[in-house]
Homo-oligomer: A and B are copies of this chain.
């Protein structure tokens, strides 16, 4: 989903829109797993355990583990992107000075892939050579396919993902916290989580262009399948 969101919305918008799309993307990443995995785990354990105390414990431990793993993972991924961009940019800056010929040739190759002849690409090349900064920008985007990462994105991304995971994960756990009998908590949890998945999927579908109902059904399908598998497995294992 992350890529689809980035592809679908990042283009030809100014920076403010781009930033809010990144935030939406991070909420979607955190919440889709947060609503699904703790829900499925708790449902699974209800198939084997009869009091809710242990289910809440396992659910909260999962939320702690999952939110940290995803948040820190997101932080390091964004930081890695930023470092990768910076080092590739430095290399391009050096190459257009030290290996000007090769870099010129690469521009011809980029255009050649679209059937544009050398003579037809020359004027663009000449224009880029007049402005080395723009030339580097051009190579970053069109040769390497890299977008300039935003400042401070890594930390913001990590916090958004982790917070969304926690919020998403607490919804299915609430009934287990309030009710003492596992099976009735399970029924309530299934009801409110499926509802939350439909709403979340629908909103996501609106934002990504997948369509409200289609996306709502998809998230319910993922959550439902995961929960059913965990429940079935736990039943099987606790019976044996």
Which residue numbers of A lie inside 8 Å of B, CB to CB? 1-4, 6-8, 10-12, 32-33, 36-37, 39-41, 44-45, 48-49, 54, 56-58, 60-62, 64-66, 68-70, 72-73, 76-77, 80-81, 83-84, 111, 114-117, 119-124, 126-128, 130-131, 134-135, 137-138, 141-147, 208-210, 218, 221-223, 225-227, 229-231, 233-234, 237-238
Q: Would B65 and A1 count as touching, CB distance under 8 A?
A: no
- CA A223 to CA B76, docked complex, whole Å: 13
- Name A231's closest neighbour in chain B (CB-CB): B61
- Name A233's closest neighbour in chain B (CB-CB): B64
Tell me what chain A mostly uses at the interface: helix, strand, loop, or mixed.
helix
A210 and B124 contact, Cβ closer than 8 Å, known pairs A40-B65, A65-B230: no
Q: Would A115 and B144 count as touching, CB distance under 8 A?
A: no
- Name A55's closest neighbour in chain B (CB-CB): B58
- Shortest distance in angstroms between A157's beta carbon and chain B's nearest beta carbon? 11
- CA A96 to CA B130, docked complex, whole Å: 31
Q: Would B143 and A114 count as touching, CB distance under 8 A?
A: no
Q: Would B68 and A44 count as touching, CB distance under 8 A?
A: no
Contact of A65 among B36, B69, B80 (CB under 8 A): B36
